[in-house]
Amino acid sequence: MAKALGALIALSLSTFTYVTVETLPIGLLPLIADDLGVSPSAVGMLVTGYGLVVVAASIPLTALTRRWPRKAVLIGLLVILVVTTLASALAGVYWVLLAARLLTALSQALFWSIVTPIAAPLFPARMQGRAMAVLSGGSSLAAVLGVPVGTWLGQQAGWQAAFLAASVLSLVLLASVAALVPSAPTGAASAARATSPDAGRFWALMVALTLAATGAFSAFTYISTYLTDVNGFASDAIGPLLFVRGIAGVVGVVLVGLLVDRNAWATMVGVVVLQVVALTLHYYSGDAQGVAIVSIALAGAALAGLAAVLGARILHLAPRGIDMASAATSTAFNVGITAGALVGGVLLPAFGVRSTVLAGGLMSLVALAVVLAEPLLATARRRGSAPGTAVEEGLDRTGVRTGV
């Protein structure tokens, strides 16, 4: 069990490193722009282009590599992460940096699809929900620790130092994964299978995820403007407020980890309800800064909790291999991030910054409706039961599959 826990921590820190590397240019934007002589929007493309590559490549790369040994693929991806972050640190011109970032994104696209089926079998079924929460906790820590520390390091020693540090950390994780993560069988059959595969519920989950992520990022993308223009915070308060949001996200992951193995579906309902409440509070917060702080914290806990509960739900519902389901989840989440930014970008100049939060709340409400309706969309039936009279396989008397 100790080795399994060590392997899980190494995998969680790998998610921490990937998310940190993905978002580093946000905090380093002015430094990179000034040093390479490019516009801020060009630096923004280092993040936007990265996300688009993840969306486009996740499912095709997963399908292409399904017959390859999972551990060997993971080690190869971490090697790419080491090399491309080092190349980013050494880039003297914008196009080299962009190319290195896009190669990193390709490795991340496949990483998300294999890390869950690698981590889940390390633990017995009764502990897998908590294990998935720990795994996703690395992503939450990236917002709290990785990006702020990377930004500080870039300000002190140049933006290249932040990427160099990420490369060194990736090298350490590469060695840790090689030593701690057990090998899995080769071939498509080695892809882990869900405990209660259900295509209807799984695709409803993907729709709900896309809507919830779109709602969250419609509001969050322009949160700095909202905090200053609507809530009346000074610009130098934004950093501490986002730190509060990040800490709340870690708390959200911990709470989900405690609840998810009891009933993953109910936990997800609670997470989406929390997001609806958070965005509603923020929309009506006005100059009540205390309410705004509470709403920011609740939104952070909800978004991190959503990411944490997804792993457990995939383990239950994936209609095919968990690797393909993980790839679909990564695609849905990144589509939501991109769509949210686009929706907010359209609404902001036309209706003002409050409309970005209103739209986020409404989309989250629709996501909640989809999650609540999800059990009704189940396609799996108990063997031997007549259609229309049998209860869904694994459902309790309320019509909800226990633990799903």
pLDDT tens-digit profile of 129-146? 788 888 878 887 887 788
Residues 144 and 211 in one domain: no
> Could you tell me if residue 118 is inside a domain?
yes
Lowest-confidence range among 5-9, 41-45, 262-266? Answer: 41-45
Candidates 333, 331, 282; CA nearest to 308 is: 333
Residues 59 and 208 in one domain: no
Which residues, listed in sequence order, are joined to residue 198 by a DSSP beta bridge?
A: none
Cα gap 346→326, rounded to integer Å: 30
What value does the mean pLDDT of the chain take?
84
**pLDDT tens for each residue of 254-264:** 898 888 888 88
Residue 15 one-letter amino acid: T
For the segment 336-349, the average pLDDT, to the nearest whole number, is 85
Q: What is the pLDDT of residue 145?
A: 80
Cα gap 214→87, rounded to integer Å: 32
For the segment 28-47, the average pLDDT, to the nearest whole number, is 82
For the segment 334-346, the average pLDDT, to the nearest whole number, is 85
For the segment 26-46, the average pLDDT, to the nearest whole number, is 81
> Could you tell me if residue 301 is inside a domain?
yes
Contact 11, 119 (CB under 8 A): yes
Q: What is the pLDDT of residue 380?
A: 56
Computed from CA positions of residues 101, 105, 111, 116, in that sequence, does the dihedral angle turn out positive or negative? positive
**pLDDT tens for each residue of 263-318:** 889 999 999 999 999 999 999 999 999 999 999 999 999 998 998 888 788 878 87
Q: What is the pLDDT of residue 187?
A: 45
**pLDDT tens for each residue of 123-132:** 887 787 788 8
pLDDT-derived band at 393, boundaries 50, 70, 90: very low
- 240: which residues sit within 8 A by CB, 6+ positions away? none
Domain C-terminal end among 173, 190, 207: 190
Residues 171 and 205 in one domain: no
Q: What is the pLDDT of residue 394?
A: 39
Which residues, listed in sequence order, are joined to residue 381 by a DSSP beta bridge?
A: 392
Q: What is the pLDDT of residue 404?
A: 65
Residues 160 and 24 in one domain: yes
Model confidence at 119: pLDDT above 80: yes
For the segment 45-52, the average pLDDT, to the nearest whole number, is 83
Interaxial angle between packed helices 94-119 and 70-90, expressed in degrees from 0 to 180 and rounded to the nearest 10: 160
Question: Between vectors from CA 305 to CA 300 and to CA 308, what angle results, nearest 5°?
Answer: 135
| CB contact burial 138-156 (16+ within 10 A = b; e otherwise) | bbbbbbbebbbebbebbee
Residues 300 and 205 in one domain: yes
Contact 315, 402 (CB under 8 A): no
> Could you tell me if residue 50 is inside a domain?
yes
| CATH assignment at residue 308 | 1.20.1250.20
Task: Please tell me which residue, 106 or 225, carries the higher pLDDT value.
Answer: 106
Residues 101 and 203 in one domain: no
Query: Tokens 């809530």 identify what position?
Result: 231
Residue 6 one-letter amino acid: G
**pLDDT tens for each residue of 52-91:** 898 889 889 988 988 888 899 999 999 999 999 999 999 9
Q: What is the pLDDT of residue 32?
A: 87
Residues 13 and 40 in one domain: yes
| CB contact burial 10-27 (16+ within 10 A = b; e otherwise) | bbbbbbbbbbbbbbbbeb
Residues 279 and 317 in one domain: yes
**pLDDT tens for each residue of 362-385:** 999 999 999 999 988 887 544 333
User: What's phi and psi for 321, nearest 5 deg?
Assistant: -65, 150
> Could you tell me if residue 235 is inside a domain?
yes
Q: What is the pLDDT of residue 95?
A: 94
Residues 62 and 176 in one domain: yes
**pLDDT tens for each residue of 164-190:** 999 999 999 999 999 998 886 544 434
Q: What is the pLDDT of residue 390?
A: 31
> Could you tell me if residue 401 is inside a domain?
no
Listing DSSP states for 35-91 in one string gives HHT--HHHHHHHHHHHHHHHHHHHHHHHHHTTTS-HHHHHHHHHHHHHHHHHHHHH-
Number of helices and strands (H, E) in the chain?
Answer: 14, 0
Residues 287 and 310 in one domain: yes
Q: What is the pLDDT of residue 396?
A: 38
Cα gap 7→4, rounded to integer Å: 5
> Could you tell me if residue 398 is inside a domain?
no
Report the run of H or E that residue 375 belongs to, with start and end.
Answer: none
Structural domain boundaries enclosing 292: 199-377
> Could you tell me if residue 248 is inside a domain?
yes
- Percent pLDDT > 90 in the chain is 39
Q: What is the pLDDT of residue 245?
A: 87
Listing DSSP states for 280-347 in one string gives HHHHTTTT-HHHHHHHHHHHHHHHHHHHHHHHHHHHHH-SSBHHHHHHHHHHHHHHHHHHHHHHHHHH
Model confidence at 356: pLDDT above 70: yes
> Could you tell me if residue 387 is inside a domain?
no
Q: What is the pLDDT of residue 210?
A: 95
**pLDDT tens for each residue of 188-201:** 434 567 677 888 99
Residues 231 and 357 in one domain: yes
Lowest-confidence range among 3-7, 123-127, 345-349, 356-360? Answer: 123-127
Model confidence at 3: pLDDT above 90: no
Residues 215 and 289 in one domain: yes
In the chain, the N- to C-terminal Cα span, in Å, equals 25
- Domains of the chain: total: 2
